[in-house]
Amino acid sequence: MLDTDKIAALRSADIPPALHLIEGAAQPASDGGILPVISPLDGREITTLARGTTTDAEAAIASARAAFDDGRWSELAPAARKAVLMKWAALIEANALELAVLGVRDNGTEIGMALKAEPFSAAATIRYYAEAIDKIYGEIAPTAPDALGLVHREPVGVVGAIVPWNFPLMIGAWKLGPALAAGNTVVLKPAETASLTLRRIADLALEAGMPPGVFNVVLGEGAVVGEAMALSMQIDVMVFTGSGPVGRRLLENAAKSNLKRVYLELGGKSPNIVFADAPDLDTAVKVAANGIFRNSGQVCIAGSRLLVERSIHDAFVEKLRAFTETIQVGDPLDPATQAGAVNSARQLEQNLRFVSEAEAAGRQVYGGKRIREETGGFFMEPTIVTGVAPDDPIAQREVFGPVLAVIPFDTEEEALRIANGTDYGLAAAVWTADLSRAHRMIRGIHAGVVHVNTYGGSDLTVPLGGVKQSGNGHDKSLHAFDKYLDLKTAWIKL
């Protein structure tokens, strides 16, 4: 798939202005507003987005509401919805390289990861939930002979989805797949710094036979479009992946409007814990580096805190530094690149500020500089910060960049205390050959996902969700349907 000639042609292809998709039709902003799309590869404008207004959001919501209420999707036989979703997945795969390059130009992910984690992942997710449509059953309650208790599962109605910029297709599909499979209609707001691929697959959904109005896309700023969605009386469920402050705002607006359910994934400060008895320290080094430096650290579950048992700390850090120096940061559309660009100038500035503050506090910094500045793009060295205290800002706050905070520990109890010592609880990892210790740590760590002797890589069969201020609800697995289906009891006197 990584045909360099095709990538070169797609790199230079013109990108038409992106418009909203409402009731199956491309539409500009109601006031004619546009937003520039700046590529992180070279800092240049590559196209524009319609700058959505409250009026645009309300039009999309009305379209989704009408499409749900008239049953054009929700009342289709499950097999009919399945056929449309399967065709949609096939079209995404057929256009995978185009989608991957478009996404890289928009958000800077290295092409090797982008191809696998974006179009191919999205297609696999949509196919997974399509296959599940006709396998979700209702229930018959155990009742006395003179009564029949039935539990129906029904679509909730209109789903509002707000998707982040780091993996828009992958994370978008985690929400679109089960929401649409369950029979709901959707209004989607992509991130303004990564809207192009999600807008493109919406066209592919229409091509696959999805009825107009079932899947609507409104582009623009969260403070306008997202606010209108959260305040709408016609959206039944909101799903969001992004920052904590925005998640809180969505909850506040849900309370101000129709008490819509809001499901949040709000990131993390995930601990990657290496004990001295880890079965393969060389592998642990490589996985720890890739767990924070791939996609320039712009991964929700990134292992951004590395906890290393003190007896092996110095040797482990030295191996980590040596391996990190081999990571090729460069042009994201070069197949040899292992780490691409930071998504935006604003994100790069935030990353560098975290590093400079840590250095000013006396922490040892390896890397931590902007590089490839001559390209005009937003690139940063993989950065290791050692001597970090558990309560340092760089160990407490989500950087969302290629910045690793390394913290030594002496005992299992101390490691557990440090691991749980943040407001987050999304993911974690433990490296140990002691089976009992592994299970103690799984039990003791407050996180939605705990890896053992690996980091990342769990597939669609298991849920992803956080605890504490990492959010609520779950993406992935059959449990994701819980957000998009209501339970209805039918009690029948015989």
Which sequence positions are flagged as catalytic? 265, 300
Secondary structure percentages of the chain, helix, strand, coil, to 5? 40, 20, 35
Least Cα distance to 194 among 116, 102, 295 occurs for: 102
For 247, the enclosing helix (H) or strand (E) is helix 244-256
By three-state DSSP, how is residue 50 classified? Answer: strand
Bridge partners of 383, per DSSP, are 403
Q: How many CB atoms lie within 10 A of CB 203?
A: 15
Cα–Cα distance between 483 and 466 in angstroms, integer? 15
Cα–Cα distance between 484 and 132 in angstroms, integer? 14
Least Cα distance to 340 among 50, 6, 112 occurs for: 112
Write out the E strands in 221-337. Answer: 237-241, 261-265, 271-274, 305-309
Residue with tokens 């066209």, as numbered in its chain: 203
By three-state DSSP, how is residue 336 classified? Answer: coil
| Inter-residue contact 342 to 385 (CB < 8 Å) | no
- Rounding to the nearest 10 degrees, give the CA dihedral for residues 170, 174, 179, 185: -20
Q: How many CB atoms lie within 10 A of CB 158?
A: 29
| Inter-residue contact 333 to 4 (CB < 8 Å) | no
Residues 6+ apart with CB under 8 A from 80: none
Residue type, 298: Q
Cα–Cα distance between 354 and 477 in angstroms, integer? 35
